[in-house]
Amino acid sequence: MLHNLWIAKDTGECLFHKKYGSIDHDENLITSFLSAIEIFAQNVDVGCDLLQTKNYKFIYVTGTNTVTVACVDVNDDESDVRNDLISIQVEFHSRYANELIDWRGRIEHFSSMSSFVDDHLSKYSSDLSNIGNRRLELTPMIVKKQMKFKLSQQQEKVISLLKYKGTATLNDIVKLMKLTEPDAEKATRALLYHNVIQQVPSA
């Protein structure tokens, strides 16, 4: 699940913040810390692209004078999120390049990024914890050739089972497709993120 997105100056000031989940702290304090980690990483290596705690991952994308960071659950696959962060950062710089050159501390106009960010990240904001017993189904009208990403072998198995059974739980997928629970969960989360499958609505 996505908890927060921050876009910060490389000096630590928060330019844009979007809260989706449970982490609720002063955004300038958070971005100052995250930017400091990035500066340190650039001094000893080529920068930071991931910071992991016990429960969360902080995924970094660094641009010209800015750092874009998303906080997700520790079990989430960062590769999909990172691709969307890159798109968000490119759009942010496209819109505000001139303001960033001579930035004077005002952040109000950056809020116009909100709908663009939601369009890219709202799919990650659903709480997917404890999905083991939730019923899943293919999204209507999904056709394999329309997918914009290559399916893994595990994802192929999930789709095959749902085509055959109509609906199934993650526990069903583990048992019937002979996948490990971590592999089945990773494949299921990725398919949910890409809207290939969906949770069956409650009756």
**DSSP per position, 41-105:** HHHHSS--SEEE-SSEEEEEEE-SSEEEEEEEETTS-HHHHHHHHHHHHHHHHHHHHHHHHT--S
Residue 131 CA to residue 24 CA, distance in Å, equals: 24
The domains of the chain are located at 2-124, 135-199
Report pLDDT digits (tens) over 19-72: 887 666 777 788 888 888 887 777 777 667 888 888 889 999 988 889 999 998
Q: Which positions ≥6 away from 200 have C-beta within 8 Å?
A: 134, 135, 136, 137, 167
- Greatest alpha-carbon span in the chain: 59
Q: CATH for 135-199?
A: 1.10.10
For 137, phi then psi, to 5°, come to: -150, 165
Q: Check if the beta carbon of residue 128 is closer than 8 Å to that of residue 134.
A: no
The overall pTM is greater than 0.85: no
Instruction: Give which of 203, 191, 181 is closest to 130, Cα–Cα.
Output: 181
Report pLDDT digits (tens) over 62-120: 888 899 999 988 877 788 889 899 999 999 999 998 888 888 888 998 999 999 998 88
Instruction: Give which of 83, 92, 69 is closest to 2, Cα–Cα.
Output: 69
Please give the mean pLDDT across all residues of the chain. Answer: 84
Report pLDDT digits (tens) over 7-17: 998 888 999 99
Q: Check if the beta carbon of residue 200 is closer than 8 Å to that of residue 131.
A: no
Q: Which positions ≥6 away from 9 have C-beta within 8 Å?
A: 15, 35, 65, 66, 67, 100, 103
Its CATH architecture, for the domain 2-124, is 2-Layer Sandwich (3.30)
